[in-house]
Structure formats: structure tokens, C-alpha cells
Amino acid sequence: MTDTVSPRRPRKDAAANRAGLLSAAARTLALDPSASVDAIARAAGLSRRALYGHFDDRDALVRELVASGAQRFNAIATDPGLRLDTEPVPVALARLTGRLWGEASHVQVAAAVALDERHVEDSAAALAPLRRALMALVRRGQDEGTLRTDVAAPTLARLIEETARTVIVRLDASSPEARSLVVRAVLSIAGLSWRDAATLIDAHADVVGTGS
């Protein structure tokens, strides 16, 4: 009698399933940060068992999402093409915000996940390079007098981050006005009037994706 051995599923199928789970988790968690494992698996068209074949638990899946999104954000924050060190701080801050919004799906899931207390430390550690870039901008802007100085730099950097996160999780990423709203909200909490923000955006339309 010959034993029959079931062939292993090709590795590319496993990789596709893992990618599908991460994509489904991003969509699902952006809408509901407390979404269950079952909800994520259903969104991916897979079973709960299949999900656990790739991730030990829900937290492991979320941590990979955080790490993936953080890599994208940190790459933007350290991109020399943004000229964060040389442009006027309000323009640099607007440009950084606009570029981050360009990763809308990842921004929204990262913002939603960051609201979950279980992943605050993971998010903070993964986004350290981005936070350093933001802090450097805030300190330079305060030194130059282009950002508000009635709030200490660490507090202002945190307020900017929280403002962006709050706006992001409440906006439809497909809205043509979304990027402009996020940029204006960030500039406002940083100390610019709505008129000054509008003037900046008119002069640098590329920060909201409408310029060359």
C-alpha cells in the first residue's frame, strides 16, 4: 500500500494569503480599530484558522501592520527631496503632512491602531524617525518665530500629531479635499491663522497635490 502525501501549497500562495490578510486588516481596522480576528479573516476571504496559520494572534498581525506603515512614513520623513532642513518651517510642515497623506490607506490604519492603548508603545517605537523629524521642525520653527511659542516644543509636536490623527480617522480618504483639510488642520494647531494657511497652500499648491 502506498501512502499518499498531500502536496504542500505553493509558497507563493502562502505569501499571497499573508499579503491579503494584511491588506484586509488595514481596511478593516481603519474603519473599526477593535475589529475581531473573525472580521479581518472574513474581509480577506479566509478562515480564522488560515489567519492563525500566518500570525500567532491578533496583536502579532497588528504589530506587522504598524511596522509596515512606519517604514513608509519614516522613509518620507527622511527623504532629502522634501528639504525639511532648508525650507521655511510652515512650508516644510505642510509638505511633510501632505506627503504622509499620500499614503492614505496606511495613514488611516496607523492612526486608528494608535488609538488602541494596547499598541501605543509599538507605534511610538516604530515611528521614532518620523517623530524626530517633526520635533526638529517644531524646535526650528519656534526658534525662528514661525510657529507658536506659547506651548513647549514637545507638547506642540504631540498636539500636531494628535490633530493630524484625529482629522485622518474622521475623513474619507477618497475625498478630494481630504489632504488639504489635514494640512490646514496641522498648520492651524502649529500656530498659523486660517488665512496664513490658505496663503501658504496657494503659493505651494503641490503640498496638497494640486501643483506641479
pLDDT tens digits, 157-197 = 999 998 988 887 777 777 778 889 999 999 999 999 999 99
Cα(196)–Cα(170) distance, integer angstroms: 24
Cα(186)–Cα(178) distance, integer angstroms: 12
Which residue is it, cell 501549497?
9
pLDDT tens digits, 73-132 = 889 999 998 899 999 999 999 999 998 887 765 666 666 666 566 666 777 788 899 999
Q: How many CB atoms lie within 10 A of CB 76?
A: 19
Are the beta carbons of 197 and 188 closer than 8 angstroms?
A: yes
Is the pTM higher than 0.85? The answer reads no
Q: Where are the alpha helices (DSSP H) in the chain?
A: 11-31, 37-44, 48-54, 58-77, 89-101, 104-114, 120-126, 128-144, 153-169, 178-190, 194-203
